[in-house]
Amino acid sequence: MRFVDIIEKKKTGHALSQSEIAYWIDGYVNGTIPDYQVSALCMAIYFQGMNDQEIAWLCEAMLYSGDVMDLSCIHGYKVDKHSTGGVGDKTSLALAPMVAACGGKVAKMSGRGLGHTGGTLDKIESITGFNVSQSEDNFVRQVNEIHLALIGQTQSLVPADKLLYALRDVTATVNSIPLIASSIMSKKLAAGSDTILLDVKFGEGAFMPTPQDAEHLARTMIAIGQHFGKDTRAMISDMNQPLGNAIGNALELKEAIETLQGKGPQDFTELCLEAGSIMLIQSKLADDIEQAKEMLLKSIDNGTALEKLKEMCRYQGGDVTQIEDVSRLPQAKEIIAMKAKSDGYVKELHALQLGNVAMRLGAGRQKKTDAIDHAVGLVLNKKAGDWVKQGDVLAYVHTNHGLDDALIRDFYGAYVFTEKKVTKKPLIEKIIE
């Protein structure tokens, strides 16, 4: 088999066989197929696409390129959730404790952030001492005992994806549905859960620009899940403005804690309740959405969801007092109120632009080696659809290095105003089961 023939075959729009896909992934991981040939194939896939069977075979080859977690020792259904990412997306930090408090087994493996803000691991590491590096035995034991663990992905998990993602990042082939779907699902399947809930976001601050694109990606990933016999469902949600009010690591953790206390932003709380309800149904712990939501709200009202977050923190070496008193979380030296310069309704709030402001403050990474400043970021006071008077506070910027003119300009440029009343758009566009 010659790899150049595989490139030619896909370039001309033909489907690859299972053996050709396995040859590609095996050869790339063991170093016998060079970057320049794989980049050519990725570009051919970008333009020609892949059918569902090809994508399933690609996901399978990537999945078995490294270790696969064995969670069979965890009793009951193991549930997992994946978000395609966005600005202010701290969902796992509130959702996972809520589901665990209702009896769900949440064995969560997460990653770090590159871009707008940190990833889930960066956010939870705002807690002093929280250890995301756990052995597989400790991970399994913790989920059995308290129903919840949050750890980093091991280096031996899906090595093909690490290689392919780095290559796609520098060859303009990131935004390909077959490559995105196989990347996400290979990692989710390798993590070993029984069920997967996907939160596929669309809009300016997301991979997919439109609801239609997001649905296409969601259905592609659901088809992969079905190929592997996993209960896989998806939510399509709007990321044209940030989720919740906080953007930045400790600030987002604080907002997640407030949500577990029943004091979270309406949009973020809605997303957690909707996602949590689906996960409880997948776990066979609730019969319908109404019953599941009631269970989740009860876990907030009686404090068991917040206690579950504290319990996980204790197990993983974190300072629980920072959850009990959020003023003990990392604090920025300066909090600057950004005030409106005129009256009007907020017509648009550009998520990506605000995410980039947060990154330049130090809340995210421009390259993998950058250090995260857990304290900095933004807390929004006005969002799309809100009426604003001149002098009202639009947001509070938390900074350790002041604000230069470019950051100020970019912050104000993220807000678009109109004199006409604005109808707020629904956060969740569709649920696909």
Confidence grade of residue 243 (pLDDT, cut at 50, 70, 90): very high
Angle at 254 between CA 431 and CA 185, to 5 degrees: 35
Arithmetic mean of pLDDT, 406-431? 96
Q: What is the pTM of this model?
A: 0.93
pLDDT grade for 166, boundaries at 50, 70 and 90: confident
pLDDT on residue 380:
98
Over the stretch 111-149, which tens digit does the pLDDT of each residue have? 877 666 678 999 999 999 999 998 889 999 999 999 999
Catalytic residues: 82, 161, 168, 183, 187
Mean pLDDT value of segment 357-382: 91
**Mean pLDDT lowest for which of 185-189, 259-263, 319-323, 392-396?**
185-189
List strands edge to edge, sheet with 105-110: 148-152, 105-110, 78-83, 195-202, 231-238, 428-432
- Statement: residue 385 has pLDDT above 90: yes
Looking at every residue in the chain, the average pLDDT score rounds to 95
* Alpha-carbon gap, residue 34 to 421, rounded angstroms: 56
DSSP 8-state secondary structure symbol assigned to residue 374: T
What does residue 108 show for φ and ψ, rounded to 5 degrees?
-105, 125
